[in-house]
Amino acid sequence: MRPRTPHPRRLNGRLATAVVTGLLALAMATPASSDSVAAPDAERTREYEVTGPRTPTERTAVAATGASVDAVRHGSVVVTADARQAERIRRMGYALRVLPGPPDRRDGRAPVPFDFPPADAKYHNYKEAMAEVDADVAAHPSIMSKQVIGRSYEGRDIVAVKITNGAKKPPGRTAAKPEVLFTAHQHAREHLTVEMALYLIKEFGSTYGKDARVTKMVDERVIWVVPDVNPDGGEYDIATGSYRSWRKNRQPNAGSTARGTDLNRNWNYKWGCCGGSSGSTGSETYRGTGPESAPEVKVVADFVRSRIVGGKQRITAAIDFHTYSELVLWPFGWTYDDTAPGMTRDERDAFAAVGKSMAASNGYTPEQSSDLYITDGTIDDWLWGDQKIFGYTFEMYPSSGNGGFYPPDEVIDRETARNRDAVLQLLENADCMYRSIGKEAQYCA
């Protein structure tokens, strides 16, 4: 595949392409720094196993160093941390063990700029993902359409695929169809989530009219899939042919050489409230200068708000896909409490009932997100707290272990299909989430 331009908004046309190709060739010669400025050593992050923390409070304290908590086990966690964050964790009295870096899947072959290494060729880079979306939409025009809902910091299209049969109405319903949102790839290195979104689009397209459950949901719901919330981060992560374990977007930060905002700390609900994000630009969980300061978050939040029609939010339920740990998570992340202002007992129980039922089908572990550690400014807290959308976070394969962000492409088919039933369950519940706790009459009459 030809090298693609990393900054489509600012560089257009043939001359620019030639310039960029030249720059890329230079960058490839020094794989550690495909940016014009190399990241200082202090900003280099590694994955560590941290032995000791065993409670949510202890894990939240580890996260408060600015490291990202990548996996939670009994009595230990896996973190991504720079040298300073690692030292702070060490001073808390915990033992750190450096884990091997991302796997080398180049198979001894020359890297192709902005593409997955040969052994992982089944993963879709941004251009391939967009081509796949276009092909699916073109193959099923009566039930699918694509919208460009905005652009990333570097100018890449952020797209939403709408899946519904507009000619069909749910039986006995006069109200508009309930809408359900699936988002993927807030975190750059979590490439399996893009495959999850592409699987859903392909599956709904190819089994409509053949599979009864799919057909009913395409007829009676409006399904939205945003397959790539963080295209700049994703492309940066694969740009040199060696995975970079990048998490954030690629927005520069004023007065700092460290780039990027953690998109899943930038949503406008209790932003930065509770020690579940960082105000330091170098942190893996940097929350940005203000809520929705990351263009990618603003684009998706504006899209969600655009689904308020006649004063009513049409989206009732959502899943935001992440990796890894095999978890089904529900809000809130900002508090350890099960219920809080903005979450009644019945609401929490409906979240938990549908969450546990979905987890029973995919074998993930269901829990409130703060059972892991405190987070603030996450999408699921915003979806519920601000929009009253039943928003879940799925942490996909693998369950734990190093290299968790880079499973080989051989697992894509199995691990995306694994969530088919859970996704259908959420769609089937989306007209009345309270049916799951036997309170349909009370809430959904």
Contact in structure between 170 and 176 (CB atoms under 8 Å): no
Judged by CB under 5 A, the residue of 4, 156, 187, 189 near Zn ion is 187
Using the contact rule CB under 5 A, the part of the chain among 91-99, 186-194, 277-285, 413-421 near Zn ion is: 186-194
Contact in structure between 309 and 165 (CB atoms under 8 Å): no
Q: Is 322 in the site for Zn ion (CB under 5 A)?
A: yes
Q: Is 270 in the site for ligand 0X9 (CB under 6 A)?
A: no
- Measured from the CB atom, the residue of 265 and 322 that comes closer to Zn ion is 322
Q: Is 296 in the site for ligand 0X9 (CB under 6 A)?
A: no
Q: Is 436 in the site for ligand 0X9 (CB under 6 A)?
A: no
Q: How far is CA 41 from CA 33, 47, 424, in A?
A: 12, 15, 46
Q: Is 191 in the site for Zn ion (CB under 5 A)?
A: no
For residue 285, the minimal CB distance to ligand 0X9 (Å) is 7
Q: How far is CA 413 from CA 73, 122, 226, 321, in A?
A: 26, 10, 19, 16
Q: Is 4 in the site for Zn ion (CB under 5 A)?
A: no
Using the contact rule CB under 5 A, the part of the chain among 89-97, 107-115, 226-234, 401-409 near Ca ion is: 401-409
Binding to Ca ion, residues 109-168 (CB under 5 A): 119
**440 an active-site residue?**
no
Nearest residue to 62 via CA among 83, 82, 86 = 86
For residue 366, the minimal CB distance to ligand 0X9 (Å) is 13
Give the number of other CB atoms < 10 A from CB of residue 7: 15
Q: Is 195 in the site for Ca ion (CB under 5 A)?
A: no
Per residue, the 3-state secondary structure of 125-166, as one string, reads CHHHHHHHHHHHHHHCCCCEEEEEEEECCCCCEEEEEEECCC
3-state secondary structure of 398: coil
User: Which residues, in sequence order, are CB contacts of 170 under 8 Å at separation 6+?
Assistant: 177, 219, 220, 431
Q: Is 70 in the site for Ca ion (CB under 5 A)?
A: no
Using the contact rule CB under 6 A, the part of the chain among 89-97, 161-169, 356-364, 375-383 near ligand 0X9 is: 375-383
Using the contact rule CB under 6 A, the part of the chain among 88-96, 287-295, 335-343, 370-378 near ligand 0X9 is: 370-378
| Phi, then psi, of 182 in degrees rounded to 5 | -120, 125
For residue 136, the minimal CB distance to ligand 0X9 (Å) is 26
Q: Judging by beta carbons within 10 Å of its beta carbon (0-12, 13-18, 19+), is residue 283 exposed, middle or buried?
A: buried
Contact in structure between 227 and 192 (CB atoms under 8 Å): no
- Give the residue closest to ligand 0X9 by C-beta: 333
The count of residues interacting with ligand 0X9 (CB under 6 A) is 16
Helix (H) or strand (E) holding 356: helix 345-362
Q: Is 387 in the site for ligand 0X9 (CB under 6 A)?
A: no
- Measured from the CB atom, the residue of 187 and 259 that comes closer to Zn ion is 187
Give the number of other CB atoms < 10 A from CB of residue 10: 10
From the candidates 58, 395, 415, 428, which is the catalytic residue? 395
Rounded distance between C-alpha atoms, residue 141 and residue 143, angstroms: 6
- Measured from the CB atom, the residue of 140 and 187 that comes closer to ligand 0X9 is 187
Q: Report CA dihedral (337, 405, 366, 92) to the nearest 10 degrees.
A: -40
Q: Which active-site residues does the annotation give?
A: 395
Binding site for Zn ion (CB under 5 A): 187, 190, 322
Binding site for Ca ion (CB under 5 A): 119, 409
Binding site for ligand 0X9 (CB under 6 A): 68, 70, 187, 190, 264, 322, 329, 333, 369, 372, 375, 378, 380-381, 393, 395
